[in-house]
Structure 1
Amino acid sequence: MQTTWHLHVVSFIGFLSLLRLFYPLLKWFTTRFLLTNPRRLKRYGSWAMVTGATDGIGRAFAHELAKHGLNLILVSRNPSKLASVSNNFRQEFPQIKIKIIPFDFSSEGGYEAIEEGIKGVEVGILINNVGITYPRAMFFHEVDQLTWTKILRVNLEATTWVTRSLIGPMLHRRRGAIVNISSGAAVVVPSHPLYAIYAATKAYVDKLSRSLHVEYKHFGIDVQCQVPLYVATRMVSEVADIDKPSFFVPSPEVYAKAAVEQIGIGSQCSPFWAHSLQWFLVGLLPENLIDTWRLSIGLRRRSLS
């Protein structure tokens, strides 16, 4: 009898362990096929704000939101690229309104420009996409102060500040959605050697988002952390030698389509199906093996830079 009881306990623990391993895939399947309804985006409001909106994932996010009929506030540091992107969007989506806010998140302060730009606009969806990483693989002691200061400002301070600025009006209206972009470097793998500060800032984004989700979900505000792995963007090409989409590496457009479908569904997700599969596979491996593998990748990239 005692042996049978022990077997039940061991079996139950084994079941929980398997469930934990399969959780990313189960979560992706459930949200992708059972919960998605793009029409629900309009319930948050008619305006969406996207930071880092002129390149890569940010531009693709903005384009996908425009396809759903949302008006856009585009924020990026390059005024000429902002003008070009907004003009292209206006030609493709003449029915929507577009505002642009040139702003360099790596500079110190000056957030009043964003406050002025969103004044009088009821932003229903915020996509905190802007982010930067190291120019090359480096040990922690090799990262100069200017580089790590910019990373902290863009990845950590900007996300915090913009979220703080918009969550108040959302709270007043009792509706809104905030999507903060983290990284598989902070969530999926146990470490990201030679990019430590970048990974740490993205871990902050994950914990901030999931905590705010719990704080504000009862007020009608959906805060979500999205966890992409590699996407074929310019930033990724500079640090990972990836210059085109593949089975596991989607284009920004493919990623954004999946990402927009997941807005408001849960506190954390990895929207692209192959990323969820990778997350599952990584979960099967011992952490020390992953650490060794990631370190070898970092050292190889450092030797090539």
Structure 2
Amino acid sequence: MLFWIILVSSLGFLWFLKKLSCFVRWLFNLLLRPAKDLTSYGSWALVTGSTDGIGRAFAFKLAASGLNLVLVSRNSAKLKTVSAEIQARSPYSKIKLFELDFSGDDVVSRVGEMKEAIDGLDIGVLINNVGVTYPRAMYFHEVEERVWMNLVRVNVEGTTHVTKAVVAGMIGRGRGAILNIGSGASIVVPSHPLYAVYAATKAYIDQLSRSLYVEYKHQGIDVQCQVPLYVSTRMASEVADVERSTVFIPRAERYVEEAVKWIGYESRCTPYWAHSLQWFFASMLPHSLLDSWRLTVAITRIQKSKQNKKN
């Protein structure tokens, strides 16, 4: 009997020490670990999905950090507007624009043209931010082929093609940082019902990032997947009740303020502190409970959407 008491107590103590060490490391990373000088990777940064939300916030922040920018987006007018706004705040940053619609049928050829356009530039930082989701919560059998094919084309193919176009130059220079924007939908919760294909594409981003982290770390290239939960952006507001920012739903600018501090470290992270807390508590709950909760949330959104249409 005494043996089992000692064994259980020892296992409990080891579990406590593990959790304590994780907490101490989290506090250090959050409060004390210095951010890397992103200009040490190169003088240019390329940002996809750079005219809205997180991508736009990254563009402003990187320019303020002393980097020149290649802004990639499908909307030429927005590109020019964002470029002018960044230039007004960071007049010494050089900015190049490239119009690219990741949902188009000519993505491969257009990425090839982009690769030629950036040839010779010291691209040290790549922010793969472009992404789309469902227009609303839908059961898998209800999702039209054009919708889920568009998700795969933008979230999977787009990120893959751009990464391949940029990483070759980083290999030649022996340095670089690649940041892929993932989602809590594929990692923090065990499932994301009624957004199944979206969650699956983001799971691809997570695994791609982890594998590339291992492949290229020894060549001086840091690859990372950041896992945000809800951020107050236009895309989030279209699929969820995200009408204003809160402590747990930060503005894109607030999220990016923390996100840049984590670039170049772990292969996967959740840089915003409140999102980390949500992940921690979610990890302590049974998967069945989280599955039921996510399904209930999604069904409620469907019912609310139908009610709004009636009104």
Fold agreement, TM-score > 0.5:
yes
Tell me which residue corresponds to 2:192: 192
Whether the aligned pair in 2 keeps the contact of 1:137 and 1:195 (CA below 8 Å) is yes
Pair 15,115 (structure 1): closer, same or farther in 2 beyond 3 Å: farther
Mark the runs of 5 or more structure 1 residues left unpaired by the alignment. Answer: none
Q: CA deviation at 1:242?
A: 0.6
1:286-297 equivalent positions in 2, closer than 5 A:
286-297=286-297
Residue 99, structure 1, aligned to residue 99, structure 2: no
> Partner of 1:72 in structure 2?
69
Whether the 8 Å contact between 2:248 and 2:275 is mirrored in structure 1 is yes
| 1:81 and 2:73 matched | no
Aligned 8 A contact 1:192 1:295 in 2: yes
1:15 deviation in Å? 4.8
Partner of residue 31, structure 2: 33
Q: Is the 8 A contact 1:48 1:71 kept in 2?
A: yes
1:239 and 1:25, CA in 2 relative to 1: closer, same or farther beyond 3 A? farther
Conserved? CA contact 2:74–2:101, under 8 Å: yes
Aligned twin of 2:114: 114
> d(CA) in 1 for partners of 2:20 and 2:141?
38
In structure 1, C-alpha distance between the alignment counterparts of 2:187 and 2:17, rounded to whole Å: 18
Structure 2 CA distance for aligned equivalents of residues 22 and 281 of structure 1:
15
> What are the superposed Cα offsets for residues 190-226 of structure 1, whole Å, 9 maximum, x if unpaired?
0000000000000110111011111111111000010
Give 1:33-182 correspondences, 5 Å limit.
33-38=31-36, 40-108=37-105, 109=107, 110=109, 111-182=111-182
Conserved 8 A contact 2:134-2:195: yes
CA distance in 2, matches of 1:99, 1:19: 50
1:31/1:265 contact within 8 Å kept: no
C-alpha distance 304-25 of structure 1, shift in aligned 2 (>3 A): farther
Aligned length: 302
Across the aligned residues of Structure 1 and Structure 2, the Cα RMSD in angstroms comes to 1.8
Identity among equivalent positions (%) equals 54
Question: Does the Cα contact within 8 Å between 1:25 and 1:276 map onto a contact in 2?
Answer: no
- The residue type paired with residue 51 of structure 1 is T
Runs of 4+, deviation exceeding 4 Å = 6-9, 15-27
In the TM superposition, residue 117 of structure 1 has moved relative to its aligned partner by 2.4
The 8 Å contact of residues 228 and 275 in structure 1, kept in 2 or not, is answered as yes
Are the equivalent residues in 2 in contact too, given 1:35–1:265 (CA < 8 A)?
no
Structure 1 residue 166 displacement after superposition:
1.2
Q: Distance in 2 between matches of 1:26 and 1:104?
A: 43
Alpha-carbon distance change, 26 to 245 in structure 1, aligned in 2, over 3 angstroms: farther
**Aligned CA distance change for structure 1 residues 107 and 117 (closer, same or farther; 3 Å):** same
Indicate the larger mover: 17-26 or 248-257: 17-26
Q: Is the 8 A contact 1:25 1:280 kept in 2?
A: no
Per the alignment, residue 309 of structure 2 pairs with none
Is the partner of 2:224 in helix, strand or coil?
Answer: strand
Matched, 1:232 2:256: no
For 1:243 and 1:58, locate their aligned partners in 2 and report how far apart those are by CA, in whole Å: 19
| Larger RCO (alpha carbons 8 Å, 6+ apart) | 1
1:210-255 C-alpha deviation (Å, 9 max, x unpaired): 1111111111100001000000000000101211110101000000
After superposition, the Cα gap between the structure-2 partners of 1:79 and 1:241, relative to the gap in structure 1 and judged at 3 Å, is: same
Q: CA deviation at 1:148?
A: 0.4
Output the CA distance in 2 between the equivalents of 1:19 and 1:203.
30
Q: Equivalent residues in 2 for 1:217-296 (5 A)? A: 217-296=217-296
1:158 partner amino acid: G
State the 1:21 CA deviation: 6.0
Preserved contact between residue 115 and residue 166 of structure 2 (Cα < 8 Å): no
Counterpart secondary structure, 1:107: coil
**Alignment CA distance shift 1:79-1:257 (3 Å):** same
Q: TM-score, normalised by structure 1?
A: 0.94
